[in-house]
Amino acid sequence: MKQSAKPLESFKLSEQAKGIQDRLSAKIQSELFKQDGKIPFSQFMQMALYEPGLGYYQNNLHKFGEKGDFITAPEMGSNFAKCLARSIRQFFHDSPSTEPTPSRVLLEIGAGSGILAVNLLMELEQLDALPDQYLILEPSAQLKNQQKSLLKKRLPDYFSNIEWISQLPEKLQGLILANEVVDAIPCERVRRVDGQWRQLGVSYANGDFNDCLMTPVDVDDLPSLLSRECGENCYPDDYTTEYRPLAKGWIKALANSLDSGAILLIDYGYSESEFYHLQRVQGSLRCFISHHSHSQPLQYVGLQDITAHVDFSQIARIAYENALEISGYTSQAGFLLENGITEISDERAQNQTPEQRYQTSQELQKLLMPGQMGEVIKVILLSKNLETQIKGFTLQDHLHRL
Ligand SMILES: C[S@@+](CC[C@H](N)C(=O)[O-])C[C@H]1O[C@@H](n2cnc3c(N)ncnc32)[C@H](O)[C@@H]1O
């Protein structure tokens, strides 16, 4: 996601945005009222992002791309999708097409604007590896409509093979893909206070939502690094971080749905030891509004994205507990380079204007540079009865870090 140095105070809100903010704030306040004035942060984040009609991903304000709040890798151009297509090409090319249950199914979770589906399917067609069916699981009614109109316009011949589903299918044979979805699953926040972990909640006073301390956390619920007995490396008071209990049910549901094939999750994140590093005293929670990145989730309710990085060790552990194999873990840069991003862009450059070549080089820098998306975004491959190779995990094999 792109950041800029715009000061937070400078946003002028439209009347529509103000209306959404006011109505959503009132709903959250009424929830607070029912729960003695405090709700867990995860409940606030759930409502701020997903409250029907009002939450950030549910309202009809613009979100993706230059005119929105942030830019994801597939929104920057088609190189990300082209590499992804090369990674999964063999899977769809080699699997036999079966009837009546298709075995070459690609399920995208949280498809955003729909642009990844467009570019991925176009490239898979070029590579003679189109899936029989492309499923999209998207909880946002507004984004679903946006995806439908984009895909209908850009892929009219394939459109009848695309289906929007509202729950995970049973016995899926194929591939599940989610780019920047896990970081949008609500998380809990905890803070070290007087040598104890306290859950951070949300309260309301004098027109503002505020952080508040909830009861001490049961250490068995915490990531193991946080719950270990503290020696001299004990986390200091005020150390604030996040963890994501909801990931457990989410991964379990994917594992149960998959009969054979693979799950590719691409997201901002680290292994547990990097995530809960002693120096990461403020955690990873970030908010995005008009390409401004900040760490104040209680502001601009319903008008900004709220994300927290993914603990990939947690994802791997849950996957293992649910009979999935952890088949690969790498950085976005490693994944894209192994799938030929430089060769793809060099080849395209031959037919491009200088301006287009400049844009491609900007795109590649953002996707690959360590200070941008190259290192902090990771790709994990989980699988079940997988017989073909998914490419991209040998150039920079980070499995040992999990
Ligand atoms: C940051 S956007 C990423 C969109 C897109 N994948 C991309 O890379 O541009 C997060 C997406 O995940 C969806 N989402 C959030 N929680 C979800 C969940 N539990 N299941 C499925 N989709 C979810 C949102 O509605 C949105 O489409």
Q: Give the Cα separation of 218 and 46 in Å (integer).
A: 22
188 lines ligand 1 (CB under 6 A): no
Q: What phi and psi, each to the nearest 5 degrees, are found at residue 355?
A: -65, -45
- Does residue 1 fall inside a structural domain? no
* Closest listed residue to residue 256, CA positions, set 318, 338, 345: 318
Q: Match 């929670």 to its residue by tokens.
A: 285
Identity (one letter) of the amino acid at 242? E
* Closest listed residue to residue 70, CA positions, set 231, 268, 217: 268
Sorted by sequence, the CB contacts under 8 Å of residue 231 that are 6+ apart come out as none
Identify the weakest region by mean pLDDT among 245-259, 278-292, 321-335. Answer: 278-292
Q: Give the Cα separation of 57 and 113 in Å (integer).
A: 11
Once rounded to an integer, what is the mean pLDDT over residues 351-369?
Answer: 91
- Does residue 5 fall inside a structural domain? no
Q: Is 240 helix (H, G, I), strand (E, B) or coil?
A: strand
Name the residue range of residue 364's domain: 15-402
Helices 79-94, 341-349: inter-axial angle, 10-degree rounding: 120
The pLDDT of residue 231: 61
Q: Give the Cα separation of 204 and 111 in Å (integer).
A: 34
Q: Match 């693979």 to its residue by tokens.
A: 262
307 lines ligand 1 (CB under 6 A): no
Distance 358 CA to ligand 1 centre (A): 29
Q: What confidence tier does 5 reach under pLDDT thresholds 50, 70, 90?
A: very low
> Token pair for residue 94?
């080699």
185 lines ligand 1 (CB under 6 A): yes
> Counting atoms of ligand 1 from 1, which one is nearest the CA of 305?
1
Distance 355 CA to ligand 1 centre (A): 31
pTM over 0.85: yes
- Does residue 6 fall inside a structural domain? no
- Does residue 20 fall inside a structural domain? yes
Distance 172 CA to ligand 1 centre (A): 20
Nearest CA to ligand 1 atom 13: 110
The pLDDT of residue 99: 66
Distance 203 CA to ligand 1 centre (A): 27
| CATH number of the domain encompassing residue 207 | 3.40.50.12710
Identify the weakest region by mean pLDDT among 31-40, 228-237, 293-302, 342-351. Answer: 228-237
57 lines ligand 1 (CB under 6 A): yes
Q: Considering just the CA atoms, what is the radius of gyration of the chain in Å?
A: 21
Nearest CA to ligand 1 atom 5: 112
Q: Is 402 helix (H, G, I), strand (E, B) or coil?
A: coil
- Does residue 10 fall inside a structural domain? no
- Does residue 2 fall inside a structural domain? no
Q: For residues 386 and 327, is the Cβ–Cβ distance under 8 A?
A: yes
Domain count, the chain: 1
Q: Give the Cα separation of 291 and 42 in Å (integer).
A: 24
Is residue 3 pLDDT above 60, yes or no?
no
Distance 92 CA to ligand 1 centre (A): 24
Q: What is the mean pLDDT of the chain?
A: 92
The pLDDT of residue 93: 82
Q: How many CA atoms lie within 13 A of 192 on its CB side?
A: 18
Counts for the chain of helices (H) and strands (E), in that order: 12, 16
Q: Give the Cα separation of 326 and 94 in Å (integer).
A: 22
Distance 139 CA to ligand 1 centre (A): 8
DSSP-assigned states of every residue in 326-359: EEEEEEHHHHHHHTTHHHHHHHHHTTS-HHHHHH
Once rounded to an integer, what is the mean pLDDT over residues 108-135?
Answer: 96
Identity (one letter) of the amino acid at 118? V
Which 8-state DSSP code applies to residue 128? Answer: T
Beta strand pairing status for 325-331 and 162-165?
unpaired
Once rounded to an integer, what is the mean pLDDT over residues 365-374?
Answer: 93
Residue 111 neighbours by CB distance under 10 Å: 29
68 lines ligand 1 (CB under 6 A): no
Distance 111 CA to ligand 1 centre (A): 6
The pLDDT of residue 341: 96
